[in-house]
Structure 1
Amino acid sequence: MEASVNVVERILGYRFRNWKLLEEALTHSSFTEDVSYERLEFIGDSVISLAISNYLFLAYPRLDPGHLSTLRAANISTEKLARVAVRHGLHRFVRHNAPALMDQVERFVDAVALENDSVVAHGGSVKAPKVLADIVESVAGAIYFDVGYDLEELWKNFRGILEPIVTPGDLEQQPQPVTALFEICQKRGKNVEIQQERNETECIANVFVDGEFIASATSVQKDLAKLEAAKIALNRLAYLIPLTSSSSTMSFYPDEDGNMIIEAAKHRLYELCESKKWPKPVYRIVKDSGPPHEKRFVCAVEITIEGEEERILQMSGYEKSRLKDAQNTAASLMLMALLES
């Protein structure tokens, strides 16, 4: 274990005065009855929350308490901290006797490897195992004890592990789908209901707007089914986007999967950037799969919004058999996001 401790110390960039604290922080309750990370995780949970709160309060003096709370939640969520553990490979050093639990971890690790964004604010295709977030919190608790309960010293030594910190810009680019769905519909006087049920193997989430069925999604996890159903519903409710001078002439059509797509979206996005004197949109292939005669593509588009504060927005489209169509869906989703902002 001492060798593993040394490796983790190098990952953390921090050398423990009492390395037994780190050993405890990496010990799952299944490994031994004598010690586990649970007590350190208890205190680590609190100190990470307080340290992040301090940082956000000072970094964003104009943010109101509600937005600060949302930003803090995104930075200390299980999804965020689990990705921290994976990014630094901390899961490889957990002492345990729980093969099934580690199978869940490996599935999550594989899913994270396929993600395109460095910041994933609201979860991906596989639910984050809580054990990964627990490990990050327990390690933070161990450092907090080791530095003599000095919160400032903890932050100095631990902030780098938590990078990238989720920013207000990240949340703007990745709005929480369920929240966004309710907000968009409520602004237009429409009632949203998400009904959930479970069959023998999966959870099912169905979205209804004013009593009309809009979308459905399934997952082995209840919250992921709800999240995915909300994403699908948002795409299919494109007609709810408020008509403006730039959108009133836009036409929508359903693709083969039922997603509402803006016609000639790639051309319209180019025109929008040109009219705003922004750089041209940049497209890239984020997924290229299938044999040569059955290729499938997923494309992403990136635009730079110039102004007092330069912002870079990215949006991935749907999987399509033609590169042109994949680019158009990315442009369509980008336009929808810009029109709604």
Structure 2
Amino acid sequence: MAEVGGGMRLAVTEIERLLNYTFRDPSLLEEALTHSSYAGHRSYERLEFVGDAVLGLAITSFFYLSDPTLEPRFLTELRIANASTEKLARVAVRHRLYRFLRRICRDLDQLVSKFTDLAMMEPEEDIVQMTYGGTTLEAPKVLADIVESIAAAVYFDCDSDLQLFWTVFRGILEPIITPEMMMEHPVMALYKLCQKHRKIVDISSSFDGSSNTVKVVVDGEVMGIGFSKQKNLARLHAARDALQRLSALQAADREEGDAGAEAEVGAKQKLNELCNKKHWMNPTYRIEQEQGPDHCKTFICSVQVKTEDKIFVISGDSKPKVRVAENSAAFKMLTEVLGDAIIPSCT
């Protein structure tokens, strides 16, 4: 049952003080603080169901309005982080909400007590990591249920006014996990990396009755797999696995790219030498495309070569400098258009 000396009237008063809000219908809060084990009274299960949805919508709306640049997948991750069982359970621990719950379940009391002891030892600065399971013990769902049930009680008492609800309820959810905090997390880092390189990432999950399996698929290929009883932890492990594999692939691509760049160095000079040797006009270059902001521009250049009876034109790859882009075009002219057979000096 609720903490000795408590009582439902005291519980309502304490939570109203915590929220700085007075309920018009205190029975909503009484229902929110009643566990199914407390016979003869309506439990919080219906309110908890609504509260889960309300918190998800309120959190998503908050970030949607705060930052118009956030993409849907980032909004999803922020909602998951701020409304996860692990995060809400720690809200309940921080504000000692379990003591107000009407229940008759000793096993539940012991489980909550054990988790509370572990959670109280967690450093506050690790809030993002805690969101995905910071202790060796999975957060008891009942703790998150209490927060969600109280959220629904506030929402209905506010006549379903989402803005007023957020004004009242946001305070107890602090600290809110922000995009800046999330960017350091493997799941967000994975999204950011794939967005940068224009890759399509998909994260899917399955549950076999005892463990969650999460797969990260990038451009149609499985890049990471994670397993855990906690879905969020499985996502974390899968994201880390994918980041490691993608990093290894990028390193290999860089080595290959470095080899190609080395081959392109001096291509303009070699093309000029060839044209002089063949008595052709000197090659002419032009910028075909210029993209990106001033601090991070890329260029694509083309080169034209006139022989005795033909005109050849080809564009190179996108490069960060005009000179390098011209070398890329010259290298392609030498190797793909004119051919190695007539350019012994380029081998």
Q: TM-score range by the shorter chain?
A: 0.5 to 0.7
For residues 163 and 41 of structure 1, what CA distance do their matches in structure 2 show? 20
The Cα offsets for residues 99-134 of structure 1, whole Å up to 9 and x where unpaired, read as 112222222212211222244332212211111111
The Cα offsets for residues 273-309 of structure 1, whole Å up to 9 and x where unpaired, read as xxxxxxxxxxxxxxxxxxxxxxxxxxxxxxxxxxxxx
**Identical aligned residues as a percent:** 43
Question: How many Å apart are 1:62 and its aligned residue?
Answer: 0.5
Question: How many Å apart are 1:240 and its aligned residue?
Answer: 3.4
For residues 131 and 150 of structure 2, what CA distance do their matches in structure 1 show? 22
Structure 2 residue identity aligned to 1:153: L
In the TM superposition, 1:65-144 aligns within 5 A as 65-116=72-123, 117-119=126-128, 120-125=130-135, 126-144=137-155
In the TM superposition, 1:107-186 aligns within 5 A as 107-116=114-123, 117-119=126-128, 120-125=130-135, 126-176=137-187
The Cα offsets for residues 168-209 of structure 1, whole Å up to 9 and x where unpaired, read as 1221222249979x98xxx9xxxxxx99999xxx9799x9xx
Within the alignment, does 1:240 sit opposite 2:251 as a pair? no
Structure 1, 54-63 or 112-121: larger mean CA deviation: 112-121
Contact map agreement 1:104 1:129 (CA 8 A) in 2: yes
Within the alignment, does 1:55 sit opposite 2:62 as a pair? yes
Q: For residue 45 of structure 1, what is the aligned residue in structure 2?
A: 52
Change in CA separation of 1:137 and 1:152 when aligned onto 2, cut-off 3 Å: same
Change in CA separation of 1:68 and 1:218 when aligned onto 2, cut-off 3 Å: closer
Question: How many Å apart are 1:231 and its aligned residue?
Answer: 9.0
Question: How many Å apart are 1:238 and its aligned residue?
Answer: 11
Higher CA-based Rg: 2
Contact map agreement 1:82 1:132 (CA 8 A) in 2: yes
Q: For residue 331 of structure 1, what is the aligned residue in structure 2?
A: none
Question: How many Å apart are 1:23 and its aligned residue?
Answer: 1.3
Question: How many Å apart are 1:142 and its aligned residue?
Answer: 0.7
Q: Comparing both structures, which one devotes a greater share of its residues to helix?
A: 2
Structure 1 residue identity aligned to 2:37: S
| Aligned pairs, number | 234
For residues 91 and 153 of structure 1, what CA distance do their matches in structure 2 show? 25
Structure 2 residue identity aligned to 1:144: Y
Q: Which runs of 5+ in 1 are unaligned?
A: 188-193, 208-216, 249-341
Question: How many Å apart are 1:160 and its aligned residue?
Answer: 0.7
For residues 58 and 227 of structure 2, what CA distance do their matches in structure 1 show? 37
The Cα offsets for residues 198-241 of structure 1, whole Å up to 9 and x where unpaired, read as 9xxx9799x9xxxxxxxxx998x465884786699699989839
Structure 1 residue identity aligned to 2:72: P
